[in-house]
Structure 1
Amino acid sequence: MAEFADALSKAVEASGLSLERIQHHLELRGVQVSLSTLSYWRRGRSRPERPESLAAVAALEEILRLEPGALTGSLGEKRPRGRWVERAAALEGIWQEAAIDLGRAIARVDKLMPYPAKYLSVRDLAVIGPDRREIEMRTSSVIEAFEDGVDRILVARTADETDHSPGEILAEKSCRVGRVRRDSEHKLLVAEIILDRVLRAGDTALIDLRYISDPGADSVYADRSFVRPLRDYVLEVEFHPDAVPVRCYGYVRSEPGGPDVDTGDLWIGTTAAAHLVVHEAQPGCVYGIKWEWE
């Protein structure tokens, strides 16, 4: 993402065009891209991935008088989509690129920027039913506001290829679910979580959510990644007594598209549960638990 943002930023500066003029030139070519999306691309806060966005990048190469492929070639591989992703840095781009009224409305909500708050700690609990399929994921988080006036955050969930859909989201205490957008093509759910009070810079809040799963096959893993360092992350998997795996182990993936590294077997106790504790979780890494049924 950084390579593309750097190339785009240098090209914009060299052209002498403002983002408003660039947007105008795009519109003349029948390409619709918002100013905020152009700004996020330039600053590396999101990246073009959808077909419409990639077409816009090709048009930008022409407008900025670049060689064909100068920008598209810097995009690299498409980012992987794990089931549990705290992908706040990209969420605003998702709203802006979505050609639907709901997306445009949510993008205009005050304090719905990607970086108004950070996670201090997160605890996830995946509940596996007697049919070996995930029933739900319960998550409890502590966030801290970066600035005054934070009253909501965005969360995202992407389903597995075998899942029917990304499921549903429910709020427990201290917050409520606001507007929700679903992308059926990518099995993506993005939700606005409204806090029970407005935070000032340095204030903290508790967020308790439940993600109701919609699996289409046996579940074999649970994981999450983060866009910035996290002090403490706890992942627990609770199995039904009639569906206890023969092996359970932790893993970490240090880079997109990289291999999963086995971090060791995890004990399944008498309560048919196993857990993983990560101190100082690093941005971009995926931390998870896998298990084997046979």
Structure 2
Amino acid sequence: MAEDFGNALTRAIEASGLSLERIQHHLARRGAQVSVSTLSYWRRGRSRPERPESLRVVKLLEEVLAVDDLLGSLGPKRPRGRWTEQTAERELTLEGIWDVQADGLNELMLKVDHLEPTPVTYLTWRDVMTVGPDGREVEFRSSGVLRADEDGIDRFLAIQRADEEDRSVGTISAQGACRVGRVRTEEEHGFLIAEVLFDRMLRAGDTALVDYRIASNPGGISSVTDRRFLRGARDYVLQVNFHPDAVPVRCYRFRQGTSQDPPTDVRDLWLGTTHSAHLVVHDTGPGIIGIRWEWE
């Protein structure tokens, strides 16, 4: 029986003695751009290469690692379900949800010990964005329950990207049963990445409560907010609270498989007397879920 791709890649990497960062460097010299997180996901079996560009990377990996059996270990393509059919070929890793900006994000993640998104499951999650009287974002509040998928989890990485016109990426704070660890920023693409530390070390199956706030530093009028899921959530709520002096004329929900896909599931949202709109999604799957609004 043929060895599966993840195991074959792991064996080849270990035999080469190269780190993922060095492998990424060798691939880049050969004209192939791939992130450290993608290589790690392939190695661990959390995603697999299927696009033509990804298969080219695998062929170059055979050259870099001096092996000739990686492509053969891929086997047939995975079966596709309704949501998977839209997203699996794009391998929802950092590139899928952040597109070209992922290069800056990966460089930033190299500055933090935990280079990959933490293996946790979002059980319930709620995001609340507040828009001020001038139509600009005031803050983004996130809270929920995470479950560890592996032993030894004591944190997860919160990733935020500012809009192009924002003056800075803002600041992050936490409360309750978590606290903020190290924070790194990347100004070119406007990324903020922060360790949110749990109040204890988790074993697989343990849960943790998370509650953090990002205070914004906007430079322009806000018109969209979203959450980008690598692995999805069981229950997700996204809410936007508008100031009474800044209520949009239209508000609607959307979702995307990746940042390059056209919006789907576009539906108008009701803005009630509280000047608030929200959506609720169960079993989100990977991808982007958001709310947009129009001022005129």
Query: Structure 2 length as normaliser, TM-score?
Result: 0.70
What is aligned with 2:76? none
Q: Do the aligned partners of residues 40 and 201 (structure 1) sit closer, same or farther apart at CA in structure 2, a change above 3 Å counting?
A: closer
Following TM superposition, by how much is the alpha carbon of 1:261 offset from its aligned partner in structure 2, in angstroms?
2.5
Which residue number corresponds to residue 292 of structure 1?
294
Percent identical pairs in the alignment equals: 46
Query: In 2, distance between residues paired with 1:32 and 1:255?
Result: 24
Structure 1 position 186, deviation (Å): 2.1
Residue in structure 2 matching 1:258, options 255, 258, 261: 261
- Answering whether residue 203 of structure 2 is matched by residue 186 of structure 1, we say no
Counterpart in the other structure of 1:21: 16
Q: Does 2:157 match 1:154?
A: yes
Q: Any gaps of 5 or more consecutive residues in structure 1?
A: 48-55
Q: Which amino acid aligns with 1:23?
A: L
Distance 1:64 1:200, change over 3 A: closer
Aligned to 1:94: 106
Match in the other structure for 1:267: 270
Q: Distance in 1 between matches of 2:193 and 2:173?
A: 12
Q: 1 CA distance for matches of 2:175 and 2:39?
A: 36
Q: Does residue 102 of structure 2 align to residue 107 of structure 1?
A: no
Structure 2, unaligned stretches of length 5 or more? 29-35, 49-56, 72-88
Kept in 2: contact 1:37–1:97 (CA 8 A): no
Aligned residues: 255
Alpha-carbon offset, residue 23 of structure 1? 2.1
CA shift for structure 1 position 238: 0.4
1:81 aligns with 2:76: no
Partners of 1:27 and 1:204 in 2: CA distance: 35
SS at match of 1:119: strand
Match of 2:85 in 1: none
* Alpha carbons 1:95, 1:107 under 8 Å: kept: no
CA shift digits 1:252-287 (9 cap, x unpaired): 213441111353221111111111111111112x11
1 CA distance for matches of 2:170 and 2:196? 16
Deviation at 1:165, TM superposition (A): 2.8
Alignment of 1:1-294 (within 5 A): 17-19=12-14, 21=16, 23=18, 39-40=40-41, 42-43=43-44, 60=61, 62-64=63-65, 78-81=95-98, 94=106, 98=110, 102-103=111-112, 106-107=113-114, 114-115=118-119, 117-261=120-264, 263-284=266-287, 286-294=288-296
Change over 3 Å in CA distance of 1:269–1:37 after alignment to 2: closer
Cα RMSD (Å): 4.2
Please state whether the residue corresponding to 2:283 is helix, strand or coil.
Answer: strand
Tell me which amino acid in the other structure corresponds to 2:292.
K
Deviation at 1:247, TM superposition (A): 1.0
TM-score (norm 1): 0.70
**SS of match in other structure, 2:118:** coil
One-letter amino acid matched to 2:114: A
**Which residue in 1 is equivalent to 2:77?**
none
- 1:281 counterpart SS class: coil
| 8 Å contact kept, 1:96–1:107 | no
Residues 127 and 237, structure 1, Cα contact 8 Å, conserved in 2:
yes
Give 1:213 shift.
1.4
Q: CA deviation at 1:134?
A: 0.4
Q: Give the Cα separation in 1 of the matches to 2:150 and 2:43.
A: 23
